[in-house]
Amino acid sequence: MKTNESGTPGAPSVQVLERMFTLIDVLASREEAVSLKEISEKTGLHPSTAHRILNDLTLGRYVDRPESGSYRLGMRLLELGNLVKARLSVREAAMAPMRLLHKQIQQPVNLSVRQGDEIVYVERTYSERSGMQVVRAIGGHAPLHLTSTGKLFLAADDPQRVRAYATRTGLAGNTHNSITQLGTLEHELAKARQYGIARDNEELELGVRCMAAGIYDDQGKLVAGLSISAPADRIDDGWLPRLQATAAEISMSLGFAGWRSTQGMPASSTAG
């Protein structure tokens, strides 16, 4: 949405989007389903125009049609809202522990979440003294199988979902170290399930290695990954206890109750 000179939101530049937003606002103002006639009256849109846009929104599950001629907000909006809420709360919970971890190790610390077949970087703490150029900016994304955090998310999937991911993506590589074979990836994911951490051995970017630990919510669901990035010749396994302790601290602040005694990942996140 555009903003005007004062910084407040303006009208969308595409007319159909403006109409769609108007329709959603009308539906959001009522708890019960709204008739097409009332929607048309409140928006000033011709019934046929409103009907056409609402039908398209229904296909995307942004709008539900409980009965012919009436509409209400759909479950897809709830799903997206929950994603936004989760990401905001994870970021807020993670910031102070991330800064402390970075202060201790003087290497970039990244917070990432899953979005489809990729991970998205939502926060990072780093300093120029780390001696490593930071390539993946906040908002950047990368394939799951090429990143340490991405492997944690794949490890939380069942084998069928992992195979489906491999088929969709083709397991394309970025470097000669990239994992491009399903069998190799499955072996890597088994280690991630066993130890509760995952690694990127110059698979996304030559000269950079990473290690990641999972962050879990109050339902024991993996919602984010905390990773350390460092020059390949400077990565230190001595950082792992601090990384895991920081991820555990963030998880507990999100309401996660505890860890399995024998492995590093919650039982509910290791299906398969």
Q: Which of 61, 140, 123, 163 is nearest to 250 (CA)?
A: 123
Q: What confidence category does residue 194 fall into, taking pLDDT thresholds of 50, 70 and 90?
A: very high
Query: Model confidence over 61-104: pLDDT tens digits?
Result: 999 999 888 999 988 888 887 777 766 688 889 999 999 999 99
Block residue for tokens 């006639």:
37
User: Residue 128: what pLDDT?
Assistant: 56
Q: How many CB atoms are closer than 10 A to CB 260?
A: 12
- The answer on pLDDT for 270 being more than 90 is no
DSSP state of 18: H
* Paired strand residues for 121: 112
Determine the pLDDT at residue 13: 64
Q: How confident is the model at residue 139 (pLDDT cuts 50, 70, 90)?
A: confident
Give the distance between the most distant pair of CA atoms in the chain. 67
pLDDT tier, 262 (very low <50, low <70, confident <90, very high otherwise)? very low
**Residue predicted with more confidence, 212 or 77:** 212
Over the stretch 20-47, which tens digit does the pLDDT of each residue have?
889 998 998 888 899 999 999 999 999 9
At 95 the three-state DSSP class reads helix
CA dihedral 147, 152, 158, 159 (to 10 degrees): 40
- pLDDT band for position 135 (cuts 50, 70, 90): very low
Total-model pTM: 0.67
For residue 272, pLDDT beyond 90: no
Confidence of residue 239 (pLDDT cuts 50, 70, 90): very high
Which band of pLDDT confidence, cut at 50, 70 and 90, is reported for residue 224?
very high
> How much is the mean pLDDT over the chain?
85
